[in-house]
Amino acid sequence: MVSALDRMIDSVRRSREVLQDTKKKTGRGMIGYFHPVVPEELIYAAELHPVRLYPHFADSITRGDAYLQTYLCSYLRADWDQVIKGKHAYLDGAIIPRSCEAVTFLYQTWRRHNPFKFIDYINVPWKRDDNTIRFFAEELERVGKNLEKFTGKEISEYSLRRAIEIYNRNRELLRKVYSLRKADAPPISGLESIYAVMSSFVVDKQEHNGLLEQLLTEVSQRPERPEKKFRLLISGGCVIDLRLWEMVESLGAEIVADDVNNGSRSFWHKVVEAGKGPLEALARGYAMVPCAFNTSVAERFDYVSKMITEYQVDGVLFAVNRNCESEEFVYPDLDRKIRERFGIPTVGIETDYLMGLAPLRNRVEAFIGILGN
């Protein structure tokens, strides 16, 4: 029997093939999106398959730079390059959040050169008061109506509530996986945990819930892993090059917590309906996702501080992608506040698409050496 973790790893590494097979089996259209601020439940309730878009670390950027400024995030440029090349052929459309500057730029480009049937945007609030939540709910209603026109099917309140139920269960199970890393000798590594999260961007959510339940059972039966000396939190925007996670843990540290878009930010929020309907519940829940472009430094610091305390973190590794302005603006203040409050070492590294790991390895190894003094 194939383990749940092996299936999760395979789905991330072979996401294109897995998604193509899923589309053939289910007949469901597929809608791509960026960042964890887009309420997937709305897409799911429209009987479509939501797909979080991230580039595959194989192809050089050869066509994307003809459409996007080269000073934008290389991960986004690589993803667009692969879209233009037909590498995401399973997609039927995309929803682009007005989020970070790079993704916001992409909407007009995608619309102008749209090789797909559906394209829409969604405005993401930068505040969390009642007015902005109401506005966000109206945005979701507008996008929902556009999805209805696209599919020819109504998004009923029942289907939306059912989607919220399925996704809440997924978030609950992922939080259980992450809670295992609070142990002195975590039974699951940081690399394995991020595979568990990123596989949820590919696999149908109900199927993924079953995999998570299987994973929790399998992990509970593992022999005890040796305790590593140094417990790290990794913070950044989209830290999607999993070679970095593997490299850090190969040097003797344990990534016990994270503050990244493809990690905890994707599922730490909750969607709770409080009498005003599922759209407002989605708006309130997703407005709490702590990305750098929609969250103040104080709010990010509160989020990271809880992680540092709960997961007994010894040091923080900031992995910021080159030209990610949102994270670059936040990093200096967040770094200073962490060192002042907790007195733990921090280090910042700059990542890039198809980067060489040798220089980063030297910096991370030196940082872990500091932790040992």
- Is the model's pLDDT at 373 over the cut of 90? no
- Residue 231 sits at φ, ψ, to 5 deg, of -110, 120
The pLDDT value recorded for residue 18 is 97
Confirm if 34 and 76 have CB atoms less than 8 A apart: yes
Q: Indicate the pLDDT class of residue 260, thresholds 50, 70 and 90.
A: very high
The pLDDT value recorded for residue 29 is 96
Q: Can you spell out the DSSP letters for 294-337?
A: TS-HHHHHHHHHHHHHHTT-SEEEEEEETT-HHHHHHHHHHHHH
- Distance from C-alpha of 351 to C-alpha of 25, rounded to nearest angstrom: 37
Helix (H) or strand (E) holding 179: helix 157-179
Nearest by Cα to 329 from 320, 317, 342? 320
Topology of 29-158 in CATH? Rossmann fold (3.40.50)
The pLDDT value recorded for residue 128 is 83
- Read off the pLDDT of residues 214-239 as tens digits, 9 standing for 90 and up: 999 999 999 888 877 899 999 999 99
Nearest by Cα to 83 from 66, 101, 104, 100? 66
Q: Can you tell me the mean pLDDT for 66-93?
A: 93
The pLDDT value recorded for residue 127 is 80
- CB-based burial label for 59 (10 Å; 0-12, 13-18, 19+): middle
- Distance in angstroms between the alpha carbons of the first and the last residue of the chain: 45
Q: Indicate the pLDDT class of residue 273, thresholds 50, 70 and 90.
A: confident
Confirm if 262 and 54 have CB atoms less than 8 A apart: yes
What are the CB-based long-range contacts (under 8 Å, 24+) for 64-72?
Answer: 67/109, 67/113, 68/102, 68/105, 68/106, 68/109, 69/105, 71/323, 72/101, 72/102, 72/105, 72/323
- Is the model's pLDDT at 81 over the cut of 80? yes
- Is the model's pLDDT at 210 over the cut of 90? yes
The pLDDT value recorded for residue 236 is 95
- Is the model's pLDDT at 203 over the cut of 90? yes
Nearest by Cα to 146 from 96, 86, 100? 96
Confirm if 224 and 187 have CB atoms less than 8 A apart: yes
- Distance from C-alpha of 278 to C-alpha of 82, rounded to nearest angstrom: 35
Q: Can you tell me the mean pLDDT for 286-309?
A: 95
Indicate the length of the chain as a whole number: 373
Tell me what the pLDDT averaged over the chain comes to. Answer: 94
The pLDDT value recorded for residue 100 is 87
The pLDDT value recorded for residue 85 is 93
139-157 as b/e: b if 16+ CB within 10 A? bbbebbebbeebbeeebee
Q: Indicate the pLDDT class of residue 307, thresholds 50, 70 and 90.
A: very high
